[in-house]
Amino acid sequence: MRFIKNIWLLLVVLALSGCGVKKYVPDDKTILIENYVTNDSTHFNISKSSVADYIVQKPNKSLFGWLPRVWIYYKTQNKTDRRFYKWVNKNLGVEPIYYNSANTADSKKQIEEYLNNTGFFKSKVVATKYERNKRAYVEYRIKPKTPYTIRELNQKIYDSAISKEINEIESDLPVKVGDNYNIFTMDKERDYITDYLRNNGYFFFTKDRIMYEVDTNLMMKKADVTLRINGQKHDKYYINKVFIYPDYNIKTANIIENDTVPFTFRLWRKAPKQRFDFIYGNNPKVHLKTFNQVIQIHPGEEFSQKKVSQTYRALGSLKLYSLSNISFDTVASGNDSVKLLNCIVTLQKNKIHHYNIQLEGTNSGGDLGALGSISYLNNNIFRGSEVFRITLRGGFQMQRVENYVIDEGLFNTRELGVEARIMFPRFLSPIKLHRFVSEYQPKTTLSSGYNMQIRPLYKRHIMTASFGYNWRSSNTVEHFLTPINLNTVKVFPSELFELLLDLETNQRIKDQYTDHLIFGLNYTFVFANQDVKKTNDFFFLKFDIETSGNLLSLFNNTPLITESDNYHEIIGIRYAQFFKYQIDLRFYHYFRNRDMLALRLMYGQGIAYGNSNDMPFERSFYAGGANGMRGWQFRTLGPGEFDNQSGYDIEHIGDLQIESNIEYRFPLYGRIKGALFSDIGNIWTLSNNQSFPGGQFKFDKFYKQLAMDAGFGLRFDFSFFLIRFDMAAPLCDPKYAEGNRWRISKLQWKDVVWNFGIGYPF
């Protein structure tokens, strides 16, 4: 009941913040609540969001019209002589933003300037302040004039070579006849031309050499635009030599005597020979062929800024190096018509060996335990900047098994595992995709693992192996392709548990403890437009597809595959056959004072067919735990309205998942951050399954079976990693009968679920 009282207290505080702020506002001031932009014309499309960027004074941040942090600031501002109130005022309160007429005038002027820059010359903006209950709302009303459009496009380029280059891309240039006059589009065109020229040998060409002359016709509202490039000749540069320092140390660069080692190679068998010159003193302990595909800059080729960027990105994937730098020097060629550059690549070594130990306590439904791991990482295992990591994991837990007496000691649940992974910073494949490799620099990963789980009623051995690639097709898009993905599960039930399984009529429960094998492929597409240098809003999208058993099914009538009980097996284990996909969409919105609103919507579905009746449990969907539906323990929610009444461990799994999450993150003190969150979702089976009565997905019922929780969390942000503690309570639980699923009035402290995690949940 105290939990409920705390919720009501929070609601009262929020309500007071809405109506209680007014009395603290000085008589001669009003709090700025909102700016909004209107357009008098329905004929001219003007981006309101772009206009809003030019409004100087941003409003106070409110929560559904409430101003809780402003209210806290007012309540504590006269008590800052006491340490606690000073901390609350500084970290929980926010100083109010009062309406400022001078800022409004500046905003009006800047918006009108923006309109001029986009062709709406002499347009006017009327700024009007509306006031109510000491709250100010400002309307910026645009009265646009008819925009100027481009009538003619001309060029004045005195260098014929440059003129020829630009004619090659003329159809791709963004400034077009008939478009509105827009200096931002012209600036974009300057960038486009500059990038094109710098990618085609013009090393010294810069954006400021491009200018535009504009001749406007007042009566016709037309503009003639002339692109002009300064008259001097622009030289095209070629790469002379490429020097690589594979073990550069700025402290000893001028002390150690270096040798120059020429290295020739071919990118593929019939390709022309290439040469790099390596400069080092001591043995760099790296194979020189490591750089064949990494360094995209080659002697004899035109200078290309794009290849410089590709080389930087490829060097960044070599974990052997902590810092890389690419510079160019001009060299005399003996021929004034040929301009040459020497490329110098300096690489500073990273620490090769790393060790990591992690220990954590666990609490699953009151069952206490501990987990630990030790990892070793080598950044140059085969002297080609291959990253090798091996991790040993172990843990134990007290687990209660209701209705059965089992004497296996206090910690009757144990787990031991090992995982090894090697990342090759190159493309390993019998198919030589030379252009693909040069453009995207794919990496190859090989991994394997073994895990042994000892439970009170059974032992389970899990073996995994995979072989795959990942690459970036742009700054925002990354791909992961795993053509070989193997997972085998071998279960050894105790005599008691085997007897229980024989008596069990629920096939889905039986399948959770049956040997099976997964052999298939996986593809993942990831889009993320976050700019780590800025605090702008951004999206994250992850789309994942996995299949299993299709390749093996082609060998069903061969000696490789045997048949048992109408199912096909390989090496005595039945293989799984399914198709699974999952979509994870997230949006992150930044507020003033570093606050953030994180939203996530997730949907996934798995379909078993052929050699499988159900999805294997490790590929099924689950709800509950530290990263989703935090008001429930791991794998204890759903499917649907299913309520587990059995006396032994059952994995709550389903074939379909819908989940949405909202989390408001804010700083508290120093590295400590807070979060308010709510999760809504559940899992379901696709067919009526005796294993989970009430768990089938139905369009007319699923929305009634959505679970909901809410909670508060603390985050301890240490930059390189983040520790998270979340407490959440189930507000709506679908396992109860309809009409009794809202649990708010029945909540007790024992219903609160505590979660511990590393990193953000999403």
pTM of the model: 0.77
* pLDDT tens for each residue of 605-646: 999 998 888 888 788 898 988 888 999 888 888 898 888 776
237-349 CATH: 3.10.20.310
Query: Comparing 199-208, 359-368, 469-478, which segment has the lowest mean pLDDT?
Result: 359-368
Pairing between strand 135-143 and 124-132? Answer: antiparallel
**401 vs 405: CA distance, rounded Å:** 8
Q: Which residue in this structure is represented by tokens 């309406």?
A: 99
Confidence of residue 506 (pLDDT cuts 50, 70, 90): low
Q: Any idea what the Cα angle at residue 282 is, between residues 279 and 287, rounded to 5°?
A: 70
Q: Calculate what percentage of the chain has a pLDDT beyond 90.
A: 42
Q: Calculate what percentage of the chain has a pLDDT beyond 70.
A: 91
Is the confidence at residue 12, as pLDDT, over 60? no
pLDDT of residue 217: 78
Contacting residues for 663 by C-beta, under 8 A, at least 6 apart: 597, 598, 675, 676, 677, 761, 762
**145 vs 123: CA distance, rounded Å:** 5
Mean pLDDT of the chain: 85
* pLDDT tens for each residue of 298-319: 999 999 999 999 899 889 889 9
DSSP class of residue 654 equals B
Q: Report whether 673 contacts 617 (CB < 8 A).
A: no
| Tokens of residue 132, six digits | 């109510």
Confidence of residue 368 (pLDDT cuts 50, 70, 90): low
Is the confidence at residue 509, as pLDDT, over 80? no
| Tokens of residue 23, six digits | 């009395």
The residue ranges of every structural domain in the chain are 2-143, 149-229, 237-349, 375-456, 464-758
pLDDT of residue 218: 67
pLDDT of residue 411: 63
Q: Report whether 629 contacts 688 (CB < 8 A).
A: no
Query: Comparing 173-177, 330-334, 547-551, 622-626, which segment has the lowest mean pLDDT?
Result: 330-334
Tell which wins on pLDDT, 541 or 316. 541
* pLDDT tens for each residue of 738-762: 888 998 888 888 888 888 777 888 8
Is the confidence at residue 373, as pLDDT, over 60? yes
**Residue 692's CB: how many other CB atoms inside 10 A?**
25
According to CATH, the topology of domain 464-758 is: Porin (2.40.160)
Contacting residues for 484 by C-beta, under 8 A, at least 6 apart: 465, 466, 467, 468, 521
**DSSP secondary structure, 390-434, as one string:** EEEEEEEE----TT----S-S--EEEEEEEEEEEESS---SS--H
b (16+ CB within 10 A) / e for 596-611: bebebbbebbbebebb
* pLDDT tens for each residue of 261-287: 899 988 877 888 999 999 988 888 999
Homologous superfamily assigned to 2-143: membrane protein fhac (3.10.20.310)
Q: Give me the mean pLDDT over the 719-731 stretch.
A: 85
Q: Could you tell me how far CA 82 lies from the centroid of its own chain? A: 42
pLDDT of residue 27: 82
Which range has the top average pLDDT, 252-261, 401-410, 488-497, 701-710? 701-710
Q: Which SS3 state, helix, strand or coil, does residue 134 take?
A: coil
pLDDT of residue 367: 57
With CA atoms as reference, report the closest residue to 603 among 549, 683, 526.
683
**Residue 366's CB: how many other CB atoms inside 10 A?**
9
* pLDDT tens for each residue of 121-140: 999 999 999 988 888 899 99
Q: Which SS3 state, helix, strand or coil, does residue 191 take?
A: helix
With CA atoms as reference, report the closest residue to 240 among 340, 129, 95, 138.
340
Contacting residues for 330 by C-beta, under 8 A, at least 6 apart: 237, 339, 340, 341, 342
* pLDDT tens for each residue of 445-454: 999 999 988 8
pLDDT of residue 287: 92
Spell out the CATH class of 149-229. alpha beta
Pairing between strand 578-590 and 573-574? Answer: unpaired
pLDDT of residue 464: 93
Query: Exposed/middle/buried for 670, CB within 10 Å: 0-12, 13-18, 19+?
Result: exposed
**367 vs 365: CA distance, rounded Å:** 6
Confidence of residue 360 (pLDDT cuts 50, 70, 90): low
**5 vs 96: CA distance, rounded Å:** 29
Q: Give me the mean pLDDT over the 401-420 stretch.
A: 68
**305 vs 465: CA distance, rounded Å:** 40
Categorise residue 64: left if φ over 0, alpha if ψ from -120 to 50, beta otherwise. Answer: left
pLDDT of residue 362: 54
With CA atoms as reference, report the closest residue to 539 among 531, 550, 528.
528
Q: Phi, psi (5° rounding) for residue 468?
A: -160, 180
With CA atoms as reference, report the closest residue to 598 among 539, 556, 517.
539
Q: Report whether 367 contacts 398 (CB < 8 A).
A: yes
Confidence of residue 7 (pLDDT cuts 50, 70, 90): very low
- Cα dihedral 9/10/14/15 (nearest 10): -30
**180 vs 154: CA distance, rounded Å:** 16
Q: Any idea what the Cα angle at residue 476 is, between residues 473 and 478, rounded to 5°?
A: 50
Confidence of residue 53 (pLDDT cuts 50, 70, 90): confident
**DSSP secondary structure, 291-340, as one string:** GTTT----TTSBP-HHHHHHHHHHHHT-TTEEEEEEEEEEE--S-TT-EE
Is the confidence at residue 339, as pLDDT, over 80? yes
Is the confidence at residue 254, as pLDDT, over 70? no
Strands of 273-280's sheet in order across: 259-266, 273-280, 237-245, 339-349, 321-331
Confidence of residue 508 (pLDDT cuts 50, 70, 90): low
Residue positions counted in the chain: 762
pLDDT of residue 401: 54
Q: Give me the mean pLDDT over the 486-498 stretch.
A: 83
The answer to whether the 2-143 and 149-229 domains have the same CATH topology is yes
Confidence of residue 6 (pLDDT cuts 50, 70, 90): very low
pLDDT of residue 17: 46
pLDDT of residue 447: 96
pLDDT of residue 505: 64
Q: Which SS3 state, helix, strand or coil, does residue 238 take?
A: strand
The partner residues of 710 in beta bridges, in order of sequence, read: 678, 729
Q: Which SS3 state, helix, strand or coil, does residue 81 take?
A: coil
pLDDT of residue 44: 83
